[in-house]
Structure formats: structure tokens, C-alpha cells
Chains A and B, each alone.
Chain A
């Protein structure tokens, strides 16, 4: 297929992913972190609007610090984009600080989620284009489908959060780095792109180490030849010199006292709170998490067929030499590298090494015994695009013998992607609780795997809550700021105030192993052990509503 057609298909894929996320995530409740990010986004966007109106306010330290102090432990870029999106697209809001976008098309929360959803669509586009150009349309669809039919990726991709955006940003940086190995211009672009990724989430801080490791591996295996500067080439200098100012520029909180604030930032994440996480029936809330945790959870949440394709792609020894035989039948050595082009002609083997490092790296970081317990699978979503690209490589090798039977490969692709697509569609809007088909939610509950976190399940209960009967409501794991967002959007029952035990007449409860104590408090204060409503996924309770008898 000609390239314009591929591009057209890629754009179509972008539109489908972004549009479906934007539409589908209307049903996904606001997660704990989003509540805080909404608040921060409004403040950041207000600052941007103030600066646009009065440019000299850019240098007003107090004004800037006041805006960016909220949630300053995370970089600002996605929150700034979300706030600006809301100023552009949000419908009128209610409450203390009502606002309305220039083109009021979406709920404020949906408008704030849109930048992340657009980035997700861009991720699908990139995966498709890259794999399709190498191995054909079906390989492209497999690469994009691998990632975006996974229920947990889909869940996170629609949120105003950083996990799916950093997954896409990591892919962008990796592909730029790949180009930079043979192109001075891409070398210059690599640093700023890494800076943007760092301005999205701290996962990007690991990228220079992973990419340097890759370069060293490739250079060492190529042996002698070339200029010594290829060992300290332009891509590395670009990341070292251009990424920091770019990241700094995109995070106004760091413009004041950057050294001290950067130190605080690193300390916050190095000594991160130890979240609770259930794994094989045990609740962990202090490191070390079992080394097996990310590996088992990856198997439990990604269909095994996809994992098999990805793993074979990562591990299969590609016999491809760097250059084919010359006219005289003698293998031509690869061209020598230098400062600007350390690997002038990257081989498929070099790519496989890159996918391997970037697929295993995030899981190894999480599995490392001293890593704080960050929680769910979202923390290694960055690995999945590279498993997907490896799967596309496997696809090309695997389907070569059936190239002549035109219908077989598309049918096989549909068969491969059907389980994960089913999984995602079925679990929506509770994809964070979904497990791969060989296990399913019931199997995961039997094994004692986490059923969810972030307290986002509230929307299904709202129609049954009557302020006259149920106020005050104890919100369980629902964050007050997430509830505040529902209020702003007019989605929260009018007059239904939140309360604290023992005053509550009704209570939400979100099922996690470490929440049992809280459920007993609910029993005691709402005076019943019988929920009036339960939200379940395939019989497995995820959240419950308790209401005091009239």
C-alpha cells in the first residue's frame, strides 16, 4: 500500500481511538488522583490565561508559585493542557468558581481528559505507522491493537492522568532516539522530546539510562571501527543538554529555586508513600513487593497470545546481518559510526535490543526490592508499546508462509485481538479491575489479586442516593475533590453532603483487602451489614452502597 494510504489509515485509527475514548469515558467515574489534577489544572490554566493577558506576570514569582503549588510533586504539562482544554471546551459549571469554555461542548472533566485521550490516539497512530511501514497494514493493526485493546491501558488512556501519556511519550522518545542514531537532526530533536516526556511524568527520567545501555550494547557488539566519539555521540549529548532546560521550561514551579525544588521532587518519589496492594492474597504496604509482582500481573492482565507474540519478538535471534552480502558474496561490514551518526544503519537486531530494554526496563524498576510500592499495573504501561512492536516483528515472521492465502492473515489477526477487545468492552467502565481471559475477574479474586483502587466507582450509585434519606454520605475511597467535580458538573445529587463516621446515614465502600477495617466502621455506623447495592464485575464485588434503614 502506498504511504499516503497508510497515513490515512493511521489518521483514521487516531480518530477512532480518541473519539471512542472521549465518548466511552463519560461512564468512567473520576479517580482519586483526577480530583486533585482537576483542581491543579484550573489553577495552572488560570495562570496561563493571566500571563496571556498580562505577559509581565510570567515573571511574577508569587503569582506563579500560588498557581503551581497545587500538586507540585508531579510535572505540570498534562495539567496545564487539561486546564487549557477546559477553558476552550467545557460546558458551564456550578458551584463556588463557575466557569465556561469558549466552545462549551463537553463536561469540564471530559474536556480535561481530552488532551490525554488525544495523546493516546497519537500513540495508536505511531504504533500503526511504524509497524505497518515495516511489515504491512496487519502488523500495524496488531501493534496498535496490542496496546489499545488492553482493558487497563484503555481505562488509563481515557483519564486525566499521566500514565497513558507517559506511555506514548516514551514511545515517541524511543522512536526519535532510533532515528537519532543515524541522523543529526533527530539527535537535536531527541533532547527536547525527552524534556517533554519528563514534563509529563517521572518515568521518563529512566529513559536516558535505558537508551545509553542500548547504544553501548549495539556498539560493543559491532566491535572495532569508526571514530571514538561514537561512544559519546550526539544523541546522548542532546538528552543531557537539551532535555533539562526543556523540562524546566514546561514546569513553571521549578522556575523558582530549581535546585531545592528538584531535590524535593526526587525525594518525594524516591521516598514515595507505600500504597496498599493485594497480591496473591497478601496485602503489601511496605517494600519489598515480591519480585514476581509485575511479571505475574502482566501475565494476569495481558492476554497470553499477545504476550507470546511479544516475547518471541523480543527473544527471537534475528540472524539478519547488519549488511547483506556484497557483489562478491562477502558480507559487507556496517558503516563506521561517528559522533553524529553512532549507528549509521541500525539493523533489525538493534531494534529488537531497543524493544527488549524498553519492555523489560519498567518491569524491572517496579520489581526492584527497594522501589516503593507504587501500586497498580499502570506504572509499567510504558513497556507495552515495545512488546507490541516486538509482536509486530513476530507477526511478519510468523505469517510469511501464509501470505498467499489472502483471507487467513486478517482472520488470524481478528482472532488474536478478539480476547483483549472483548475483555475491554465487557469490563468498561471498570477496566482497572479486569483480568485476562485465562484468569478472568473470578479467577483473579480466587487468587487474591487486587480488584481495583482509586475509588472511582460512584456513578452507578448516584441515582439511588436520596439526600433526604442518605445525607451525610461517607464516601469510602471516593476522593472529596472527585466528588467536587461531579458537583461542578451537576452530576452529584443536589444536597447530598459528604460526612464522616459516625454521622453517616449511607456509605460507599470500595473492595480492597486493606479496606476491611473501613467496612466494619460502615457496619457499625450505618447499622447494617447488608449492602443495598453492589457493583460487581462478573460476580466479583468491586464496590457497595450501604444505606441506613429508614
Chain B
């Protein structure tokens, strides 16, 4: 009778000891202000356009508070890591699983760690991605080169916004599937076709972009899908349907280098929702690696 209870007693004592030791590690702040200050100084020497990726995603607000480059890159809300030859990662040294950012890089690139630095519990790494494609142009950065039409009517531009009676297209930040993204956000009545035209869009050998739906909280509204059509020099090169369940859906189109007439058409299908969530589109052109 005493055997099992003695064994269990030992097990409970051992487990409680493990938990007590775990508590000593778990229940304390590890990243002190001095660590953030040092990380800021280390990252300040790198060019501001080189992405700083948070290897520990939940640390990002604290990093934005402490490191101006991280804060300014947050407002750029990059769509992925294509087109960058060098990136920097910042995270807790104790929490390094398979880096999630690997999914964001060009599969043709091979990441090679060129630098690693410990700042207290933080680890900063610099990665070289080779070969890297050159990013040539971004749809949401084209400004005056871009013309927006709603059902064939030209929408006048004011700042970063194009406005027609039933349509607003805006170059802005939007949350798609829980992540901030900078994109062309399209607010339109259902059934309306919105056209984004650029008569001389610089192209390389690839157009790559994403489409998603803003405002995760609106998931309950059961939005209708969006039909996306991309024409290059008036030839349909892509036609696809995007639904709100696909998150940040990537699209790719092989192209020929030069300046091409690019037309992107978005049609929001009939929706039962009174306020459908805005589709969010970004498109970039890349040269060969």
C-alpha cells in the first residue's frame, strides 16, 4: 500500500521542485532598458532600408518603442522579404525555433548568417540573401503614374487617396490576417469593378504581389470573395479569386523586362454584408537575380 504512495510522493516532490525552478526562470524580466539601448546602437549603423525582422514577434511593440528604425519600418509594413539582399533579425536568444521569416524570402535565395551578436538576452543576427532579386517598382508607390477607374469612370486623386462616388482606393496600412500591411485598400460597393492602371510600369522578369482583406474583426461578416485580374500590355496574365479565408494570398506573374501597361481589375462579388471589408492589394516588379 505504501509503495505507490511513496512513489507518487517522490514524483510530486520532484515535479514541484521543477516548477519552482521554472518559476525562477519564467517570472522575471529579462530584457532591461540597457539591452534595448545597446540593440538600438548596434542596429543604427545599418542602412535604414535593410529590414529588421523580429525573430520573437511579440517583442515587436517594445522594439518599436526603443529602436527608431523598427518604428519607422513598421509604418512601411513590408509585404514580404523579397528583393532584400540583407536582413537583420532581433529576438530573444532563448526562443529560437525555425525562423518564421524564412517563409517570406524568395525561395531562390539562400540565407547565410554573416553576423551574430548577443546583447544580454537579445540576439541580433545579420543574414545575407543570395542571389537577391532587384525590386524595380511598387504599385502602391506609383503616385501620379497610377490611374484609378470605377466602372470605367476616372476617380480623382487627392494625396494618397482616389475617390469616386461608390469607390475609394487608398494607399494605406491595413491589418490583414492579424498583420499590418501597406497596400492599395479598395472600398467599393459590391459588384463594382475597380481598375488600377499604370501605362508605364517598370517590369523585370516577375510581378509578385498579395491580396487579402482588411480588418480581422470583420471575419464574422462573411464577406464575398474578390475577383482579381492582372493584364500586362492588355493581355490577361492572371485571373484568380481571393477569399477572406486565404489570409495574405501571394500571386506571381512572369513578365518581360521593360515598361509595360499594367492593369489590375478588382471586382467585389455580391455580398450579404452591408459593410464588406476592404480588399488590400500590393504588387511589385522584380528583376532577375
Contacts and interface: CB of A to CB of B under 8 A. Distances in A.
Interface of A: 274, 276, 283, 285-286, 303-305, 308-309, 312, 394, 397-402, 412, 415-416, 418-419, 422-423, 426-427, 435-443, 445-446, 511, 513-514, 516-517, 519-520, 523-524, 528-534, 536, 538-541, 544
Contacts of A399: 5, 9
Contact of B12 (A416, A427, A511): A416
A264 to B, nearest CB: 23
Given A513-B216, A517-B215, A524-B173, 8 more contacts: A312-B8, A398-B9, A415-B13, A415-B16, A416-B16, A437-B19, A517-B175, A532-B65
A412 B26 contact: no
Interface string B47-82: 000000000101101101100100110110000000
B174 interface: yes
B178 interface: yes
Contacts of B158: none
Interface string B11-43: 111011111101101111111000000000000
A412 B30 contact: no
Contact of B68 (A276, A415, A426, A530): A530
B16 A529 contact: no
B217 A534 contact: no
Q: 10 nearest interchain CB pairs?
A: A440-B26, A437-B23, A530-B71, A419-B19, A437-B22, A445-B58, A529-B74, A517-B175, A426-B27, A516-B175
B95 interface: yes
Given A305-B16, A415-B20, A520-B175, A539 B62 contact: yes
B141 interface: no
Q: How large is the interface on B (under 10, 10 to 19, 20 to 34, 35 or more residues)?
A: 35 or more
A419 B219 contact: no
Contacts of B68: 530
Contacts of B61: 511, 531, 534, 541, 544
A531 B71 CA distance: 9
B220 interface: yes
20 contacts: A304-B15, A304-B19, A308-B11, A309-B12, A401-B2, A415-B20, A416-B12, A419-B16, A419-B20, A440-B23, A440-B26, A442-B92, A511-B61, A520-B174, A523-B75, A530-B68, A531-B65, A532-B65, A539-B29, A544-B65
B76 to A, nearest CB: 10
B59 A539 contact: yes
B8 to A, nearest CB: 5
Nearest to A529: B74
Secondary structure at the A interface, as helix, strand, loop or mixed, is: helix
Given A305-B12, A520-B174, A440 B27 contact: yes
A536 B220 contact: no
A438 B64 contact: no
Q: Is the interface of B mostly helix, strand, loop or mixed?
A: helix
B236 interface: no
Contact of B173 (A285, A286, A523, A530): A523
B179 interface: yes
Contact of B26 (A416, A516, A534, A538): A538
Contact of B22 (A398, A419, A427, A523): A419
Nearest to A397: B5
Given A283-B178, A423-B23, A398 B12 contact: yes
Contact of A437 (B27, B58, B95): B27
A36 to B, nearest CB: 21
A275 to B, nearest CB: 11
B59 A520 contact: no
B217 A285 contact: yes
A445 B20 CA distance: 20
Contacts of A528: 71
B92 A529 contact: no
B65 A534 contact: yes
Contact of A529 (B26, B62, B64): B64
A305 to B, nearest CB: 4
Contact of B20 (A285, A437, A439, A530): A437
Interface centre among A398, A438, A441, A514 (most CB of B within 10 A): A398
A423 B24 CA distance: 10
Given A523-B173, A538-B26, A514 B217 contact: yes
B180 interface: yes
A519 B62 CA distance: 14
Contacts of B20: 415, 418-419, 422, 437
B26 A285 contact: no
Interface in B135-186: 172-175, 178-180
Contact of B16 (A418, A435, A520, A533): A418
Contacts of A446: 56, 58, 95
Contacts of A532: 65
A402 B217 CA distance: 56
A441 B64 CA distance: 20
Nearest to B12: A305
Contacts of A398: 5, 8-9, 12
